[in-house]
Structure 1
Amino acid sequence: MSKILAFTRFSVRDLLVTAGPTVFLIAAVCLVAYWLVDPAPPHHVSLATGQENSAYEEFGKKYATLLAQHDIKVALKPSLGSQENLQRLNQGTVDIAFVQSGSTEQAEAERRGLISLGSLFTEPVWLFLREDKNITQLTQLKGKKINLGPPGTGVPRLFKQVLAVNNVEENELSIGALENTPATVALLDGSIDGLVFSSAPEAPLIQMLLQTPGIKLFDFAQAEAYTRRLPFLTHVTLPRGIVDLGRDLPAQDYQLIAPTATLVARADLHPALIDLFVQAAGQIHGGTGWFQQQGQFPSARYTEIPVAREAAKFYKDGAPMLQRYMSFWLANFFDRMWVLVVALGALILPLSKVVPPLYVWRIRSRVYRWYGQLRTVEQALEEAPEGRRAEIYAAQLLRLNEIEEMVNQISIPLSFADGLYGLRSHINFVRQRVLSLTQAMAPTGEPA
């Protein structure tokens, strides 16, 4: 019964042996494609932010919170500000950073391998002065103690450009390099006459100084002219009462000049992380604000650094379709595995036409190889010398019996049974020939 079952069942073993190399090849191609496409982004990324109590620090925390929902840990790296962040990107010590517009040029950014994920918000130039200093023009800052912050903030470079278009030399005023918090303390105690920030209004120090008695904000009445002379600046208005409507703070509209904050990354940042950061930027910066309308930011505009392809696609079409219906990791896997799908299709289609003939050949070869043995027997019969024919014929009969015994042990699927029965009939045909030759050699009786 076991032999019958073995004879009738499908030959899984032969199929595995035949398809094995093909399966191995496909698996190897899948592994290579998986490695080349790199579908899984890293779980850790470093983000250079800014000083303590700065808008960069506050926004950095929001990015870390949103990306943590997708199991991405964002390591926040405090810094002095935009210029230091740019240096860290160039050195490769951080993956992504907040950088102020005007901090570099397009050719330099391309040479350094930097990409923009879009502009995020405006960073007005806030010049806070002691109220007892009656200053309405920047030319009146000559001889005054003005803190611009450390060089790494980017503010000294920016404000010196602003002074230059007013024909004010930096050596005509006393420039301080204190960080934001100690500079604020110095302004409040009268140690300095003024300080300059360039930050989003969400920064705690900005909020405090706008409501501090004895401190006033400088009004850039010529803001529109500044944007013509310095193209990376935009003209924004701080509306009356925006700080506190009940107390009417501020008591007038203030004209301000503002660069924009940009999210900048190294060109080798994983594309999936770019998608994730840009989507997070939409949630964090997409609403209304003191200086922006709904949906104005984030944007591919207002940046001199080339915008990443993934970011530009997001600003044009929105989030990737799969991420609208799947988790980030699953959507990213399918979205980035199209190369693997193409490779599989290129292999499976032709190989699917090769494997079946190989399987048929392997099964039939179990039968066909015995025809070589039959041919050997026939050659022995044809070449037998006359004096040894009886001996050779007897030996070949034994050999045919052995062949038949081994053929009877062959197990093949029923669909190939015709070949097996054909072989057995051919064995019997050769046996009959040997018997005929043997009988022909037998001596005949003498006539009576």
Structure 2
Amino acid sequence: MTALPRTLRLALLGLRDLLASAGPVLVLAGAILVAAYWVLQPQPPASVTLATGPVGSAYAAFGQRYADALRSHGITVVLQPTDGSQDNLALLRQGQADLAFVRGGSADPVADEEAGLLSLGALFYEPLWVFYRPDALPPAARRAGPLQSLAALKPLRVNVDKPGSGVPDIVDRLLRANRLDPATVQLSHLAQAPATEALLGGLLDVVVLASAPESPHVQQLLRAPGIALVDLRQSDAYTRIFPFFSAVSLPRGIVDLAADVPADDVAMLAATTSLLVREQTHPALRQLFAQAAQGIHGGAGWFNRARDFPNTRTSELPVSSEGDRAINGTPPFWQRYLPFWASNLVERMWLVLGGLVVLLLPLSRIVPPLYTFRVRRRVFRWYAQLREIESRSEHGDEAPGRLLEELEQLDRVVDKVAVPLSYADELYALRHNIHAARKRIVARRLDMGD
């Protein structure tokens, strides 16, 4: 095999010495990074569970949009159908879901904060839709015009959704505020789909839904003939009694401009739905969901203008740092240029990387002395043999010819020693000393007449 050119051989030799000198520092840095990675677990799990709501509800539709958004980052969102907010809260508290949609007024701010539940921000208004059949009202009530008070529900057959939805609890509180004992009202607890059909079929008089306008059941009832909405003119008063409610208005014509549906503005109550998360859920997942919320809920809706949501103003629980940064802050610049896994790694490990730089700066000062020692040792190791030959020559114990043979052998070995050019003077000094020793031995040999 052809020998490498001397210049290339010297370059490779210098690189080897540099790597060997820096090796301990590099091994230490690697060990620290591996330990930090193991402790911090910067990469999130590949799967996360999101508690949504009943099949066909707005919660279920939004859950699918989150699943689609996170799929592009390699995260699988497992959608867990439930009966609604109360079920979602129960799953979060029990650790059976990582995130969940929860309507305002459902959570216990003190107990749930202590349980480690956080908010990623309020996402959208969830109005309280009180649909009724005008022909079910007593004649006097029909003549009075659109129904405007919940107190008028007492003689009617009212469906308030399944218990896990949280709607029964809300209606209970609203009825009591109107001095009505819920036990005296004909309440039923059908799910949204059968309740909608029962109202359309005349088997129910009133259906109360708490859902975003995107709900197919809401859309169906808004367009159904013979079905009207309670125009809750006391909505401002309710917001003073129940702070989790906001007074909103369904604008005239918003459902169908051509058909002028509704024919007038309708006053309503709405709670804000938040995306709640367990404190144990990986921070990277919280960040991804908070960022996805910007695109999913940032547009204008029937009850809000563009960029009104997501927000941190109406969250009942503390907003996590990821949610606050996504909603109110500016994302780090590297998120615009790096793929998710890389930007997340930088996000989670930057503190460790900064500390590592601080640690390695003083440690790196030992690399040049180590490098110098390794290179010079390649030369200085032969001085011991040279000194031993000279010592034997001075004592006259060895024949000059034998000593000269050893010097020749030493000179041939040293001639093959390779060092970087910056250290060549020390190699030349060694060969000069070998030559000087040879001259002294030759001179002594001549004096001895050998």
Q: What TM-score, normalized to structure 1?
A: 0.85
**SS of the counterpart of 1:197?**
strand
Give the C-alpha shift of residue 2 in structure 1.
Answer: 6.0
Distance 2:234 2:252 in 1: 18
Question: 1:64 maps to what in 2?
Answer: 67
Alignment of 1:194-209 (within 5 A): 194-209=206-221
Contact 1:7 1:414 (8 Å CA) reproduced: no
Letter in 2 for 1:212: A
Q: 2:401 matched to 1:419?
A: no
Instruction: State the secondary structure of the residue aligned to 1:300.
Output: coil
Please report how far the alpha carbon of residue 396 of structure 1 lies from its aligned counterpart in structure 2 after TM superposition. Answer: 5.9
Distance apart, 1:395 and its partner CA: 7.0
Change (3 A) 1:236 1:414: closer
1:283-298 residue pairs with structure 2 within 5 A? 283-298=295-310
Partners of 1:414 and 1:183 lie apart in 2 by 90
Question: 2:49·2:99 contact (CA, 8 Å) conserved in 1?
Answer: yes
2:168 aligned with 1:161: no
Contact 1:390 1:441 in 2 (8 A): no
1:269 equivalent in structure 2: 281
Q: How does 1:393-432 map to 2 (within 5 A)?
A: 400=407, 402-430=409-437
Instruction: Give the match for residue 144 of structure 2.
Output: none
Q: Deviations over 1:159-192 (max 9, x none)?
A: 1111222222222223322211112222233333
Matches within 5 A, 1:333-352: 333-339=345-351, 341-343=353-355, 345-346=357-358, 349-352=361-364
Q: Does 1:77 align with 2:84?
A: no
| Cα distance between partner residues in 2 of 1:4 and 1:83 | 77
Does structure 2 conserve the Cα–Cα contact (< 8 Å) formed by 1:124 and 1:199? yes
SS of alignment partner, residue 9 of structure 1: helix
When residues 193 and 6 of structure 1 are mapped into structure 2, their CA distance, relative to the original with a 3 A threshold, is: closer
**Contact 2:392–2:398 under 8 Å retained in 1:** no
- Tell me which residue corresponds to 1:9: 10
Mapped to 2, the partners of 1:48 and 1:4 lie a distance apart of 68
Which residue number in structure 2 is paired with residue 227 of structure 1?
Answer: 239
Deviation at 1:309, TM superposition (A): 1.0
Q: Judging changes above 3 Å, is the alpha-carbon distance between structure 1 residues 167 and 412 closer, same or farther for their aligned structure 2 residues?
A: same
The alpha carbon displacement at 1:76 in A equals 1.9
Alpha carbons of 1:395 and 1:275: their partners in 2 closer, same or farther (altered >3 Å)? same
- Cα distance between partner residues in 2 of 1:397 and 1:315: 85
- Tell me, yes or no, if structure 1 residue 245 matches structure 2 residue 257: yes
Does residue 1:86 correspond to 2:73, yes or no?
no
Quick one: which amino acid aligns to residue 255 of structure 2? V
| AA partner of residue 163 (structure 1) | L
Q: After the TM superposition, which of the residue ranges 295-304 and 19-28 deviates more from structure 2?
A: 19-28
Give the residue type in structure 2 aligned to 1:74: V
Q: Please report how far the alpha carbon of residue 353 of structure 1 lies from its aligned counterpart in structure 2 after TM superposition.
A: 3.1
Distance 1:252 1:390 in 2: 124
CA distance in 2, matches of 1:410, 1:130: 102
1:315 paired with 2:327, answer: yes
Given the superposition, is the C-alpha separation of residues 322 and 22 from structure 1 closer, same or farther in structure 2, using an over 3 Å criterion? closer
Match of 2:182 in 1: 170
- Per the alignment, residue 49 of structure 1 pairs with 52
Structure 1 runs not aligned, ≥5 long = 444-448
Distance 1:334 1:208 in 2: 48
The change in CA–CA distance for 1:436 and 1:41 in structure 2 (over 3 A counts) is same
Q: Structure 2: how far apart are the matches of 1:297 and 1:307?
A: 14
Matched residue type, 2:274: T
Q: Matches of 1:431 and 1:86 in 2, distance apart?
A: 93
Tell me the amino acid that sits aligned with residue 423 of structure 1: L
The answer to whether the aligner puts 1:102 opposite 2:114 as a matched pair is no
Q: What letter matches 2:176 in structure 1?
A: A
Q: State the match for 1:114 in structure 2.
A: 117
Which amino acid in structure 1 is aligned with residue 18 of structure 2? L
Change (3 A) 1:228 1:410: same
Aligned length in residues: 438
- C-alpha displacement of 1:143: 5.3
Q: Distance in 1 between matches of 2:231 and 2:362?
A: 73
Work out whether residues 25 and 364 of structure 2, in 8 Å CA contact, stay in contact via their aligned partners in 1: no
Q: Is the 8 A contact 1:101 1:304 kept in 2?
A: yes
- Counterpart code for 1:23: L
C-alpha distance in structure 2 between counterparts of 1:92 and 1:205, whole Å? 31
| Cα contact 1:37–1:339 (8 A) shared by 2 | no
What does residue 278 of structure 1 align with? 290
CA distance in 2 between counterparts of 1:127 and 1:2 reads: 91
What SS is found at the alignment partner of 2:180? Answer: coil
Which of 373, 377, 387 matches 2:385?
Answer: 373
1:130 aligns with 2:137: no
- What is the TM-score normalised by the length of structure 2? 0.85
CA RMSD of aligned residues (A): 3.2
Looking at structure 1, the residues matched to 98 and 318 of structure 2 have their Cα atoms a distance apart, in angstroms, of: 16
Cα pair distance change 1:317/1:125, threshold 3 Å? same
- Hey, what does 1:210 align to over in structure 2? 222
Q: What per-residue deviation string (whole Å, max 9, x for no partner) do you get for residues 72-113 of structure 1? A: 332222111011111111222222111011111332222221
Q: Percent identity?
A: 44
| 8 Å contact kept, 2:92–2:278 | yes
> For 1:311, what is the secondary structure of its paired residue?
helix
